[in-house]
Structure formats: structure tokens, C-alpha cells
Amino acid sequence: VQLVESGGGAVQPGGSLRLSCAASGFTFTAHYMSWLRQAPGKGLEWVASIYGDGSPTYYADSVKGRFTISRDNTKNMVYLQMDSLKPEDTALYYCATNLPFHSSTTTVGDWGLPWVEAPNYWGQGTQVTVSS
């Protein structure tokens, strides 16, 4: 199983970035996908999730109205469009999912979908820095 994130970078406040995640090694359409982030000195935080068929989508309050999660099941790709970026969005962003029979000791903070298992597998991350 591989999740490979890309698209991070440095941007000024108010700017935009689009993150991409290439997934392989599992039945992509059968899994909800999420984006998580970890700011310097803080724990892992849930950002957004999308169901296997692309709907519905869910967002943390801190990003609602500014970020958009989407997926292309023909390409096994997940995206996170980030607009109106703020300095507090600075973090390492991870593409994530939940894999049966895989365990993680890392807790996903403020998990927004309590009716399903939280993500337990993620990639290496892509850095987003928002600064003037």
C-alpha cells in the first residue's frame, strides 16, 4: 500500500494550493479517504474526508468553506484544494485511510466521523507553509 502526497509549498496568506495524493495497493473505491495535518509542536489533526464514491464530504470547522476535498476514482487520486490560506494552516499534510488489520499508535485528533474508524495509515506528507 502506498499513499504519496505532492503539491505542498510556500504561499502568502490568502493564497491557494492544491495537494494531490496518489494511492495504490488497495481497493481505492472501497475506502473513504482523508487529509490530516500536523503543525509544528502539535498532534495529528483531521482536516477533511470523502467517501469512496465521492460523496458525502466532511470538513473540520477550521477549514470549512476554504478547503475542498475531491477524488478521481479513475486515477486513484485524492485532492485537497486549499484557498484563503492562513498562517495557522502551516503544517505537514498527510493523505490517509483506514486499512483493516493495520494498527497505529498515533491518535487522529478531533476525528470528525465517529461512526467509522479513524485513519490508521498515511503517507510521508507534503509541507505547506503560509507566511508573508
Give 102-119 pLDDT, tens digit per residue: 888 888 989 999 999 999
- pLDDT tens digits, one per residue of 16-57: 999 999 999 999 999 999 999 999 999 999 999 999 999 999
Other residues' Cβ atoms within 10 Å of the Cβ of residue 85: 22
3-class SS string, 61-96:
CCCCCCEEEEEECCCCEEEEEECCCCHHHCEEEEEE
| Residue 42 dihedral angles phi and psi, to the nearest 5° | -120, 170
